[in-house]
Amino acid sequence: MCTSITFHNGDHFYFGRNLDLEYSFGEKVAILPRAYRLKFCREPDLEHHYAMIGMANVTDGYPLYAEAVNEKGLCMAGLNFPGNAFYGEEAEGKNIAPYEIIPWVLAQCATIDEAERLWQGMHLAGIPFREHLPLAPLHWIVADQKRCVVIEPMKEGVKIMENPVGVLTNNPPLDFHLTNLRQYLNVTAQPPQDRFGGGWSLSPFGQGMGAMGLPGDVSPASRFVRAAFHKANSVCEQEESANVSQFFHILDSVAMVRGSVLTPEGKCDITSYSCCVNAGTGVYYYKTYDNSRISAVNLFHEDLEGEKVTEYDLVKGPQFYEVN
């Protein structure tokens, strides 16, 4: 389970997510330089392309990205979509394995408009990375400064939909989440007005009562609504530290506390990491479940004309600032 959001404040644009999982997948911050030879199962290799940064498991030198942003500011993340995700057989056209789609798109496209042209004739084929690594059932959120779309591979075909809310969680599909928002038309950040009737002049007895009815559980549908509400009502200064702090506060509002969500196998589903990237500057911020201190990795501080992936281990242990 995961939550991804986009965030605009003035000219600043940010993208990121919570990754909710009951285990570590060997994730590291991975920077893919322009001269890294990108190999694809069925499509031609790319010898030179846009550089990108994101969270990935790097296996045999190949970055399996959970999310990433390229040097042009195009962002993409994969989120769990079990029961609905469907990868078909290879067909005439462009056959892309699901694990390839993030580097395939971000390597070649600077905007969603360009990506839409690339997606023409695209088939998401059920080709695993390795026999012992089964494909994860995913859908993807893609965003740039101007637009946000969602890619959902389903039995009836690959659906590519505009996402005006700029939020994505898991099941059900996006069209359900957008319709479900209509059930919360009365939720507001303002003090509630007395619409009860009876002429009793009822008044709120505490702050925040305008948002009564906002779902508090961590199901995908509830997280979508809650993240959309906090994003829509966000107020912060148009300054980097304020924007990044606000972004993580929004993600915190839909994070999973260890022990509050158990998988069918009895394991704890937790928000193993949260990330936020400034799509304009290429700075990738993250924090982990046990380390709330925000770490930052800058895409443009690396040699982007290199040929090898640069990996940074996550800072996971608690860090305390001792005042006395």
Active site (catalytic) residues: 2
Please tell me what DSSP assigns to residue 223.
H
Q: Name residues whose C-beta falls within 8 Å of residue 221's C-beta, 6 or more positions apart in sequence.
A: 169, 172, 176, 177, 180, 215
At residue 50, the 3 state secondary structure works out as coil
CA 68 → CA 15, 73, 104, 189, distances in Å?
A: 9, 10, 11, 32
Q: Are strands 75-80 and 167-168 parallel, antiparallel or unpaired?
A: unpaired
Q: Name residues whose C-beta falls within 8 Å of residue 51's C-beta, 6 or more positions apart in sequence.
A: 31, 32, 33, 34, 70, 71, 299, 302, 304
Enter the tokens of residue 45.
């290799």
> For residue 277, which of 58, 32, 73 has the smallest C-alpha distance?
73
**What is the phi/psi pair of residue 318, to 5°?**
-60, 145
Please tell me what DSSP assigns to residue 267.
P
User: Are 4 and 79 spatial neighbours (Cβ–Cβ below 8 Å)?
Assistant: yes
User: Are 227 and 253 spatial neighbours (Cβ–Cβ below 8 Å)?
Assistant: yes
